Amino acid sequence: MTRSNAIGLIRSWVDSANDPLGDFPLNNLALGVFEAGNGPRCGVAIGAHVLDATALEAEGVLDLHRPICAQPSWNALMAAGPKAWAAFRAQMTALLREGAANQAQIVPHLHSMAHVTLQLPFTVAEFTDFYAGRHHATNVGTMFRGAENALPANWLHIPIGYNGRASSVLVSGTPVRRPWGQVKGPDDSAPRFAPSQRFDFELELGAIVGQPSNGPVSVGQANDMIFGYVLLNDWSARDIQAWEYQPLGPFQSKATATTISPWIVMRAALDPFRAGPPMRETPLLPHLADAGDNFHDIALEVTLTPEDGTPETITRTNTRELYYSPAQQLAHHTTSGCPMRVGDLLGSGTISGPTPDSRGSMLELSWGGQSHIKVNGTPRAFLNDGDTVTLSGAAIGKGYRIGFGPCDGTILPALENPYAP
């Protein structure tokens, strides 16, 4: 059961924030970094506007007793800790609430979202990608190893994950260049170096670590360390992955780009949408055992827009399809004593649902390329040049929703020759 009925819309004097279909009601207070001709600044999404938090702090209207918005990233707020996170939300809510006293002071710092460009909302310290969706792991395992061996032996006992590449994390809207790589088909006698022909998206939720750790933490402690969430598309070159991944895991196949939504939704904004764990056929060992409702009810969808086509929604699913919560992923990450840092980003792994139209990657939607899906009436297996992939997601409350804004990227053709000077 989710708690989505526990709270209603908090009305704002910014009219557009009261739109029941908008991503950014006052309940959300999503965090981004925007540029409106005055250098990059910290911004808070409110309806169809971005509120310049850097300006508010400079004027003393926002005051957390230490600089939070001096740098164009939200890492300083993360580092300030959970009390500061709550104080920030309380101050912002008071400023933007219907009937607030000081509207005239705020209005000059509201920018139309249509007229700003958005940058990465935080500095990514390190990036880890998990594999915590059971339907996805089962689908991929069935394709690669057969239905009997679909789930690896360890899968029901630990959230499998691997370290990714923080340098390749991009903000939504940044084009993504189709990669080259070494590939070898099952019938090829030797590998060759070529542009990827099986370039794919992965629909994921990203969790942002807001507090550091220096030793193993419990699932409950891990939950408290999470600052917020983004949507995350872990672009994947399946042909490169198939050739490189044994025995040490994916490497270049996942290093071209990972796109995140421009807005961080803070954990507190999603608290009314917390949900319990899935049924577990095998109990988890105590260090990973479920500790409260650390899952969320967030509806997700993926839209594919071909270069000369119209947007078509190709999958609909929900974060409740995850088998391991972000808190369990983070707790597992610390078992060895691995230090976690402010700004670490944890991708959930692909979130697929149980049905063919709820699969979170082209690999699954086309079942390894064997069974094409139709997009604008044309059969498709993987991504074409010019395709735009848009992830969207929202927790649906009574009369409002908590969204992330679109998380999109357009595929550019591969370089003609990557070694041209």
Q: Which residues bind a copy of itself (CB under 8 A)?
A: 125-126, 131, 152-154, 157-158, 160-168, 177, 179-182, 184, 190-193, 215-216, 218, 237, 240, 243-253, 255-257, 285-287, 332-333, 335-341, 344, 415, 418-419
By annotation, the residues acting in catalysis are 136
DSSP character for 28? T
DSSP character for 387? -
Distance of closest approach, residue 103 Cβ to a copy of itself, in angstroms: 43
DSSP, collapsed to helix, strand or coil, labels residue 282 as coil
Closest to a copy of itself by CB, 82 vs 249, is 249
Closest to a copy of itself by CB, 349 vs 397, is 349
Closest to a copy of itself by CB, 114 vs 285, is 285
Which residue in 375, 409, 371, 374 sits closest to 389, CA to CA?
Answer: 409
Distance of closest approach, residue 282 Cβ to a copy of itself, in angstroms: 8
Burial bucket for residue 79 (CB in 10 Å: 0-12, 13-18, 19+): middle
Distance of closest approach, residue 244 Cβ to a copy of itself, in angstroms: 6
DSSP, collapsed to helix, strand or coil, labels residue 156 as coil
Paired tokens of 394: 């929202």
Distance of closest approach, residue 345 Cβ to a copy of itself, in angstroms: 13
Contact 237, 253 (CB under 8 A): yes
**Spatial CB neighbours of 58, under 8 Å, sequence gap ≥ 6:** none
The position carrying tokens 């679909």 is 150
Separation in Å, CA 270 to CA 94, 192, 240, 267: 19, 47, 37, 5
Closest to a copy of itself by CB, 325 vs 334, is 334
Closest to a copy of itself by CB, 14 vs 183, is 183
Which residue in 308, 300, 302 sits closest to 377, CA to CA?
Answer: 308
Distance of closest approach, residue 188 Cβ to a copy of itself, in angstroms: 11
